[in-house]
């Protein structure tokens, strides 16, 4: 590793997890002056405050072990106003938003970045699996080397200023090597499980959590030919392509096969959920989508639009798939070469040119 001559200050977001811990260690090895910063973005119920305390403890002990300064900061108010309120609004409109994307553009790479600049840092760092490349005078966001862990999807709303001030020290490592490094260095959290799910919901039941904020109204679950097959607990709690938690597994007399039932359509106005049997239902397949609230990382749309083959992901855990794109009156129109499964309103479509993440928009 190349040692820095001048000790430039970098603030790294330390979540208590293994990725940001190894990232902090790498920065220190590279010769930066490193400050670890733990941010609390949520403070409402007992179970989350317990896991926050544990994560904070883990982050503190890693900072001690690698010998860096450490700070704690509370962004809960910002988070509530700029991420959670939009998350709730979207759900109450029947869409399925992705709060991690908003958390990145509004909290990690805004509130956190502003705070870090105030304490004298030139750059911030996180343990995200993604890479940044300077191409002439533009900063590009690249997929991680470990495509299985790539998190560029969640970072597509970052802009040039944010990228110019960010470092992703583990973006060119594979997860298994990050774990191996953590063990070799003797990090206390080397064996800690990766976090899953939406951060403020954690391992709790999603419906129970959302019920506290969105008044639910029961309604019918219908087959496509209009037969009632069950009852839903509130349309907001269901998403297109959902299979589990419908409570209709045993409806034998209406089943045309043993295939599972999937949510294929939501009628918010009439409070009806439509289901169909089998993952291959034509209502779950589409080659075309429209997105709004478009964001391009370079600040302007790609030059080579017409007929150029990009690729795109319409949800995180999905291979990107070849497509062409067009923009029309603030809408991004994405035409895939192959059917995509369960395109869902409120999720983001993210556009790539090979490894380069160009930006995207919110599916409408
Ligand atoms: N509470 C937090 N405080 C400070 N930084 C955080 C916090 N949560 C996440 N981050 C930063 O954002 C990065 C990505 O967050 P994400 O929730 O995806 O973590 P992760 O992939 O599980 O990584 P880790 O193993 O570091 O927890 C983290 O690696 C860390 O740098």
Q: Phi and psi of 157, rounded to 5°?
A: -95, 10
DSSP one-letter code for 270: T
Closest CA to 21 of 195, 161, 141: 195
**Ligand 1 neighbourhood includes 195 CB (under 6 angstroms):** yes
- Strand pairing partners for 139? 134
8 A C-beta contact, residue 297 and residue 316: no
| Per-residue model confidence (pLDDT) at position 5 | 52
- Strand pairing partners for 328? 331
Q: How far is CA 241 from the centre of its chain?
A: 18
| Per-residue model confidence (pLDDT) at position 89 | 92
As a whole-number percent, the residues of the chain with pLDDT over 90 amount to 74
Closest CA to 14 of 41, 48, 37, 42: 37
233 C-alpha to center of ligand 1: Å? 33
106 C-alpha to center of ligand 1: Å? 15
Is pLDDT at 133 greater than 80 in this prediction? yes
CA 101/CA 97 separation, integer angstroms? 9
CA 51/CA 59 separation, integer angstroms? 12
293 C-alpha to center of ligand 1: Å? 26
Torsion of CA 294, 299, 304, 309, to 10 degrees: -50
pLDDT tens, residue by residue, 5-33: 558 999 999 999 999 999 999 999 999 99
CA 117/CA 127 separation, integer angstroms? 19
Is pLDDT at 67 greater than 90 in this prediction? yes
Q: What is the ipTM of this complex?
A: 0.97
**Ligand 1 neighbourhood includes 38 CB (under 6 angstroms):** yes
**Ligand 1 neighbourhood includes 116 CB (under 6 angstroms):** no
Among protein residues, the one whose CA lies closest to atom 29 of ligand 1: 127
- Strand pairing partners for 134? 139
8 A C-beta contact, residue 14 and residue 36: yes
CA 109/CA 130 separation, integer angstroms? 14
**Ligand 1 neighbourhood includes 126 CB (under 6 angstroms):** yes
| Per-residue model confidence (pLDDT) at position 197 | 67
For β-strands 310-313 and 321-328, DSSP reports them as antiparallel
DSSP one-letter code for 48: H
CA 158/CA 161 separation, integer angstroms? 8
**Ligand 1 neighbourhood includes 15 CB (under 6 angstroms):** yes
For β-strands 9-13 and 123-125, DSSP reports them as parallel
Structure tokens at 304: 């080579």
| Residue with tokens 């928009």, as numbered in its chain | 361
pLDDT tens, residue by residue, 297-326: 999 999 877 789 999 999 998 889 999 999
- For 177, other C-beta atoms within 10 Å of its C-beta total 14
Task: Using the atom order of ligand 1, give the atom closest to the CA of residue 39.
Answer: 3
> Catalytic pick from 103, 300, 323, 364?
103
CA 18/CA 177 separation, integer angstroms? 11
Distances (CA, A) of 106 to 127, 157, 232, 233: 17, 9, 33, 31
Task: Using the atom order of ligand 1, give the atom closest to the CA of residue 127.
Answer: 29
Domains of the chain (ranges; CATH) run: 9-185 (3.40.50.620), 216-279 (2.30.30.280), 286-363 (2.40.30.10)
8 A C-beta contact, residue 21 and residue 189: yes
| Per-residue model confidence (pLDDT) at position 3 | 54
pLDDT tens, residue by residue, 179-230: 999 999 999 999 998 877 676 666 667 777 888 888 888 999 999 999 999 9
Give every CB contact of residue 42 below 8 A, 6+ residues apart in sequence. 48, 52, 76, 79, 199, 200
323 counts as catalytic: no
């Amino acid at each position: 590793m190349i040692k820095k001559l001048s000790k430039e200050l970098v603030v790294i977001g330390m979540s208590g997890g293994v990725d940001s811990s190894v990232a902090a260690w790498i920065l220190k090895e590279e010769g930066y002056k490193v400050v670890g910063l733990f941010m609390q973005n949520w403070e409402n119920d007992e179970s989350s405050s317990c896991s926050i305390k544990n994560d904070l403890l883990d982050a503190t002990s890693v900072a001690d072990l690698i010998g860096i300064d450490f700070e704690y900061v509370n962004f809960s108010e910002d988070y509530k106003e700029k991420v959670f309120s939009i998350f709730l609004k979207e759900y109450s409109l029947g869409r399925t938003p992705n709060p991690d994307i908003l958390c990145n553009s509004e909290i990690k790479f805004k509130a956190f970045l502003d705070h870090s600049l105030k304490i004298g840092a030139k750059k911030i760092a996180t343990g995200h699996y993604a890479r940044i490349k300077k191409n002439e005078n533009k900063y590009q966001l690249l997929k991680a080397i470990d495509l299985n862990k790539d998190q560029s999807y969640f970072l597509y709303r970052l802009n040039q200023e944010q990228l110019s001030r960010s470092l992703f020290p583990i973006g060119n490592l594979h997860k298994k090597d990050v774990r191996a490094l953590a063990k070799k260095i003797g990090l206390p959290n080397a064996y800690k499980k990766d976090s899953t799910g939406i951060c403020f919901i954690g391992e709790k039941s999603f419906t129970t959590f959302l019920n506290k904020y969105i008044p639910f109204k029961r309604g019918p679950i219908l087959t496509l030919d209009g037969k009632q097959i069950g009852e839903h607990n509130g349309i907001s709690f269901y998403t297109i392509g959902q299979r589990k938690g419908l409570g209709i597994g045993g409806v034998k007399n209406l089943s045309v096969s043993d295939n599972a039932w999937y949510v294929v359509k939501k009628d918010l106005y009439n409070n009806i959920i439509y289901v169909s049997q089998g993952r291959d239902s034509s209502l779950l397949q589409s080659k075309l989508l429209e997105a709004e609230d478009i964001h391009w990382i370079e600040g302007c749309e790609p030059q080579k639009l017409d007929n150029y083959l990009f690729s795109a992901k319409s949800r995180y855990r999905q291979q990107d798939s070849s497509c062409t794109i067009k923009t029309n009156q603030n809408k991004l129109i994405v035409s895939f070469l192959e059917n995509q499964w369960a395109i869902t309103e409120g999720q983001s479509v993210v556009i790539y040119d090979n490894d380069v993440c160009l930006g995207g928009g919110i599916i409408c």
